[in-house]
Amino acid sequence: MRIPFIAGNWKMYKTQAEAEAFANEFVKLYSGTDVRAAICAPFTDLRYLVDAFRGTGIGVGAQNVHYEDEGAFTGEISADMLSEIGVDFCIVGHSERRQYFAETNETVNLKVKKLLEKGIAPIMCVGESLEQRDSGELYDFVRTQLEEGLAGVEKDDLPKIVIAYEPIWAIGTGRTATPEQAEDMCAFIRNTLIEIYDEESADEVIIQYGGSVKPANATEIMNQVEIDGALVGGASLKAEDFMAIIDF
């Protein structure tokens, strides 16, 4: 049984003072829900959020990690640094990181494996551009992202990974994929995982949709069979909106 999982992606928003204000409000709203929730926040907010969410069931995620254990990598953060402060999740391969920070399937793969080794659950993002969708390349493109991003990941580790399908053209644009488009690709992703691994382990993987998810469209997205959750950017910045999505 896959438990619905809604994660917020704060991107480069919220100072610690702003994170505190959010947490105070959100912790009061969240109690009693049976949907899993997490906030993926800037590094500077993580320690505070782990403390603020302790005992609530709300998870905390980072948005990036380096794939080496340690070293002369100015400005980078290691998986040990994240796990020591109690971080549960880490987004990898977000399209913004692929576009602006040269993240590739190869570095995504190294990060996924490092996170698994250190006990942090990767939220691995995949998704096509509008040109790829229009030219019909979308399936091949996403399949390659999955094959290369998961290369060398053992079958037993697969259920620990969350896959987020985020069509690039739907991120921050207000243009959501239709529930049918989202369901179609999430089903394709699950079938690809079945081909690479097997039905049993692929069945356990949480597949999220991301791209302009908001309270008004959360229900129809979450009602799709192959969509187990959402990765929410803009609408995760307000506790009330994020809670409305969790309550889909």
Assess 241 for contact with ligand PGA (CB under 6 A). Answer: no
d(CA 248, CA 230): 11
Number of residues lying near ligand PGA (CB under 6 A): 13
Which residue is catalytic, options 66, 94, 96, 226? Answer: 94
What track of x and - describes contact with ligand PGA for positions 110 through 149 (by CB under 6 A)? ----------------------------------------
d(CA 100, CA 121): 23
Active-site annotation holds for 117: no
What track of x and - describes contact with ligand PGA for positions 158 through 197 (by CB under 6 A)? --------x----xx-------------------------
Find the residue with minimal CB distance to ligand PGA: 233
Active-site annotation holds for 240: no
Among 42, 59, 211, 229, binds ligand PGA (CB under 6 A): 211
Helices (H) and strands (E) in the chain, counts: 11, 8
DSSP state of 167: -
Task: Evaluate whether 242 touches 232 at the Cβ level (below 8 Å).
Answer: yes
DSSP state of 93: S
d(CA 52, CA 189): 35
Assess 213 for contact with ligand PGA (CB under 6 A). Answer: yes
Cα 2–199–125 angle (5° rounding)? 60
Of 97 and 114, nearer to ligand PGA (C-beta) is 97
Among 42, 61, 210, 229, binds ligand PGA (CB under 6 A): 210
Cross-strand partners of 91: 123
Closest-CA residue to 88 (of 13, 22, 7): 7
Sole residue written with tokens 């080496």: 68
Least distance (Å) between residue 96 CB and ligand PGA: 7
Instruction: Please identify every residue annotated as catalytic.
Output: 94, 166
Contacts to ligand PGA by CB under 6 A: 9, 166, 171-172, 210-213, 231-235
